[in-house]
Chain A
Amino acid sequence: MAKITFIQHDGTEHVHDGKTGLSVMEVAVKNNVPGIDADCGGACACATCHVYVDAAWLEKTGDKTAMEESMLDFAEGVEPNSRLSCQIKVTDSLDGIVVRLPESQH
């Protein structure tokens, strides 16, 4: 279990408990957090669950696969701390993580 803070582009915060094993994207979608579209449902096929991970947490989210890296490369507004949230698995060590959402996923 991990407490996850999602900060929308307009600054609105949403704090939700994420169950271990779910992805950060699934936690957002199941709680109806606006700003994460996740069109493909977690298949790493669409890059519409793009988030910015706060620097302190980036390392704990693990490495990007080549597929994720490649999809992100073409998303809008990509920064060094960009991740696809469907590829970040919730673990206890992510308790307190803060992710920020881009202005648009399309």
Chain B
Amino acid sequence: MTSPDAHVVIVGAGHAGGTLAALLRQYGHAGPVTLVGEEPIPPYQRPPLSKAWLKGEADAESLALKPLEFYAENRIDFRPSVRAERINRQRKVLALSDGTELAYDFLVLATGARPIRLPIPGADLEGILELRTAADAEALKGALGPGRTMAVVGGGYIGLEAAASARALGAEAVVLEREPRILARVAGEVLSSFFRTLHEGHGVRFLTGASVTGFRGEGGKVTGVELADGRVIACDLALVGVGAVPNQELAQDAGLAVNRGVVVDLEARTSDPSIFAIGDVTLRPMPIYGRDFRMESVPNALEQAKQAACAITGRPAPAGETPWQWSDQYDIKLQIAGYNFDSDQTLVRGDPASGRFAIFHLQGDKVQAVEAINSPPEFMMGRQLIGSRRPVDKQRLADPSISMKEVAAA
């Protein structure tokens, strides 16, 4: 199956694709590697775009996964500003938007996800922004500043991180959330309420149960967001962060198995053995939870890049990892391990008012997920407990005077 001369073509030069290209060389793959990306710049880290970078605490160079010269030095043919148009699986050829074709032995789809755009009146006004790419972040940073008001449509992590950064830049922020609470899709009630209080303390305003029906504008520029109840929230810019959909069309058109994402196995292989898929675009098995799902996170992108690199270079598959993610807002570091599936109990360790606590989601006496606020021990130990499926003593877990090491050892 593997061949040292195999040509690996990677579609998508994001965190997953860029990491895979570098790993192939680390693992000794000798054949040609081509990395195709739609953006004009080499792979970079997206998480800081709503955090440190937006606040001006990180520069473009620090965002780059590798310096530009890395690609040539490592014989990685990096092709920016070009889109993959079609896969011909019979001929094993990828057609690009510049009219050229690339013959592949292995093709890897790392096409990511794209922000959902609201199909509502006024959505094409100037000043309505989204945050996915470095170019999006440049536009957002340029629009923020003292005296400006940003309306955030969608109270998810992207919107909240951007709101925190906006406040740091002296701008006003108002978050509009359709559900009765922020973070409704991704976090429990305790965490939602903690983050709302935190942001309110920093001057962010919230409207929940607020269904956005349109944007108002003047001279082609956005001036307000229209709600279903008739209210209009004035703003100078609006950031829409209401989720993302996988860029799976290339795979779908080629007849690969697709189901809310490109379906892959634990080697990151699609239904075609010569084609892999990694990162946000995939629907992947999660053995700890006995189900398949699609994750939008850097750790997932890195894990799947390792899986594909191992499969392509003939290494044994890497051990499974417990999924995790993080967020920084003001002086709060949130670390989440696992996913809250099938839990029957929520247990809070520590006092939320202290700004240091952790929320454990349990199924019986097993930890399914943990959300840790400025609490690395709870995160690190919780992550291990989720992976090991070892039972815990719930009373001891709820008692912050007993250290996490002692809780886990019991």
Contact = CB atoms under 8 A, between A and B. Distances in A.
Interface of A: 22, 26, 29-30, 32, 34, 37, 39-41, 43-47, 67, 70-71, 73-75, 106
A32 B26 contact: yes
Contact of B70 (A22, A32, A70): A32
Interface stretch (B61-69, B82-90, B173-181, B191-199): B61-69
Interface string B303-330: 0000000000000000101001010100
14 contacts: A22-B62, A29-B66, A32-B66, A32-B70, A34-B26, A37-B302, A41-B45, A41-B48, A43-B328, A67-B333, A71-B376, A71-B380, A73-B376, A73-B377
Nearest to A45: B326
Contacts of A30: 64, 66-67, 70
Nearest to B302: A39
A36 B47 CA distance: 19
Contact of A106 (B47, B70, B319): B319
Nearest to B65: A29
Interface residues of B, number: 29
Contacts of B66: 29-30, 32
Contact of A45 (B25, B62, B333): B333
B47 A41 contact: yes
A58 B404 CA distance: 28
Contacts of B168: none
A20 B296 CA distance: 33
Contact of B298 (A22, A26, A40, A75): A40
Contacts of B381: 74
User: B-side binding surface: helix, strand, loop or mixed?
Assistant: helix
5 A-B pairs with the lowest CB-CB distances in the bound complex, closest first: A74-B380, A70-B376, A45-B326, A71-B376, A41-B45
User: A-side binding surface: helix, strand, loop or mixed?
Assistant: loop
Interface in B5-39: 22, 25-26
A30 B43 CA distance: 12
Contacts of B302: 37, 39
Contacts of B74: 32
B380 A39 contact: no
A41 B298 contact: yes
Nearest to A32: B22
Contact of A26 (B25, B62, B335): B62
B299 interface: yes
B376 A67 contact: yes
B73 to A, nearest CB: 9
B52 to A, nearest CB: 8
Contacts of A34: 26
B299 A39 contact: yes
Given A29-B65, A30-B66, A32-B74, A74 B321 contact: no
B62 A40 contact: no
Given A32-B74, A37-B302, A45 B377 contact: no
Contacts of B319: 106
Nearest to B301: A39
Nearest to B48: A41
Nearest to A68: B376
Given A34-B26, A73-B377, A74-B381, A46 B324 contact: yes
Contacts of A37: 302
Interface in B354-410: 376-377, 380-381, 384, 404
A71 B328 CA distance: 16
Nearest to B21: A32
A106 B306 CA distance: 13
A30 B333 CA distance: 25
Contacts of A43: 47, 326, 328, 333
Given A32-B70, A43-B333, 5 more contacts: A41-B298, A71-B380, A73-B377, A74-B377, A106-B321
A36 to B, nearest CB: 11
A46 B328 CA distance: 13
Contacts of A70: 376-377
A47 B47 contact: no
A102 to B, nearest CB: 15
